[in-house]
Amino acid sequence: MSAVTISFGLQKGGVSKTTTSTLSAFILARQGYRVLVCDMDSQGNASQFLTNKSPYDFQGRTILEACKERNPEPYIVGITENLDLLPAEDLLSTFSRWLFDEYKPELQRTGQVDPNALLLVLKQTLDAVREKYDFIILDLPPNLGEQTLNGMAASDYCVVMAQSEPFAYDALQRYLETLEHVQSRVNPNTKLAGILTTLLDARTALGNFIRDRIAEEYEDLVFSTVIRRKSRVVEFSFEGISDKTKADREALDMYESFVKELTKRVNKG
Ligand SMILES: Nc1ncnc2c1ncn2[C@@H]1O[C@H](COP(=O)(O)OP(=O)(O)OP(=O)(O)O)[C@@H](O)[C@H]1O
Ligand SMILES: [Mg+2]
């Protein structure tokens, strides 16, 4: 059976896309699924989080090269038995320049005129290894540029982050409109998995107010799990992910409950 591809996105920075996508991938792999994390953000945070290495260690051997060759195979980095990574670093920011300055002219020269071709490069690339995995998890960058559009078009399911904070609330609406555009013009099989409320600080009235407003407006689309602020989660990004202590397991608990909902929604598990 071929992989279900799930992206984690929002054009707003720091709403826990990377943390949630990589911890979810870690949990799925621990459950025995074969998982590939594809880092689509030139910050390389997911790459750093999973390997504890500098993203610059992967220069020249990233998802950018995989997309240029439409072949991820040589660039896959093994993390654990079931968990693999396609890394990213700064130069992924040249992705859109490559698309328009090199890839588009190449398509024109060879007479390929599909207007969506530029948005389907990532999908084509990942399709080459789809049979090897149960899940492909995409960590998207904090903008609505070509990496995010390619990420949406490559997704079977999109998870949209909603931080309980005013700026993130407005971004959520625009993200959903962009997703509708991708669904109608590029890939009709892309679906919304749901909206995940993150980084709730339940001590603030505003946080609770926005969470309630999102729940009211988007109803069943919102996952019941809420990702709360926990200091242990931040420590994972320095020390690596661990499930040894009680604090580790408490921090992972909320992600496990999210993964349970997610696998149900995408009909796996
Ligand atoms: N559950 C949590 N509790 C506490 N801190 C968290 C939690 N999840 C994420 N963080 C912290 O919040 C910050 C932003 O998280 P993260 O990098 O995952 O967000 P992002 O949306 O991927 O950011 P960017 O838009 O820059 O890619 C990080 O410092 C991270 O450690
Ligand atoms: Mg990130």
pLDDT tens by residue, 46-97: 999 999 999 999 999 999 999 999 999 999 999 999 999 999 999 999 999 9
Amino acid 199: pLDDT: 77
Beta carbons within 10 angstroms of residue 237's beta carbon: 15
Q: At what angle do helices 205-218 and 166-185 cross, to 10 degrees?
A: 20
**CA–CA dist 228, 105 (Å, integer):** 47
Q: How confident is the model at residue 113 (pLDDT cuts 50, 70, 90)?
A: confident
Q: What mean pLDDT, rounded, does the chain reach?
A: 93
Task: Determine the residue of 11, 17, 19, 239 to mutate for testing ligand 1's pocket, defined as the one with the most ligand atoms within 8 A of the Cβ atom.
Answer: 19
Atom of ligand 1 nearest to the CA of 13: 25
The region that residue 191 occupies, defined by phi over 0 for left and psi between -120 and 50 for alpha, beta otherwise, is beta
Q: Is the pLDDT of residue 168 over 90?
A: no
Which residues, 6+ apart, have CB-to-CB distance to 149 below 8 Å? 119, 178, 182, 186
Protein residue with its CA nearest to atom 16 in ligand 1: 16
Amino acid at 93: S
Q: How far is the CA of 232 from the centre of ligand 1 (A)?
A: 12
Measure 242 CA to ligand 1 centroid, in angstroms.
17
Distance 66 CA to ligand 1 centre (A): 26
**In the predicted model, is pLDDT for residue 201 greater than 80?**
no
146-154 and 166-185 are packed helices; what angle lies between their axes, rounded to 10 degrees? 60
Token reading at 158: 């999109």
- Rounded CA-CA distance 47/40 in Å is 10
Query: SS3 for 136?
Result: strand
Q: Which residues line ligand 1 (CB under 6 A)?
A: 13-19, 41, 43, 45, 142, 199, 227, 229-230, 233-234, 237
Helix (H) or strand (E) holding 35: strand 35-39
Query: Is the CB of residue 167 less than 8 Å from the CB of residue 134?
Result: no
**pTM for the whole thing?**
0.96
Give the pLDDT band of residue 23 (cuts 50, 70, 90): very high
The 10 Å Cβ neighbour count of residue 169 is 17
Tell me the sheet residues that pair with 215: none
Mean pLDDT of 261-266: 97
Atom in ligand 1 nearest the alpha carbon of residue 15 = 21
From the CA of 231, give the closest atom in ligand 1. 4
Q: How many CA atoms lie within 13 A of 104 on its CB side?
A: 11
Architecture label for domain 4-265: 3-Layer(aba) Sandwich (3.40)
Using the mean position of ligand 1's atoms as its centre, give its distance from the Cα of residue 234 in Å. 8
What are the φ/ψ torsions at residue 58 (nearest 5 degrees)? Answer: -100, 5
Could you give the CA distance from residue 159 to residue 246 in angstroms, rounded to a whole number? 28
Q: Which helix (H) or strand (E) holds 250?
A: helix 246-265
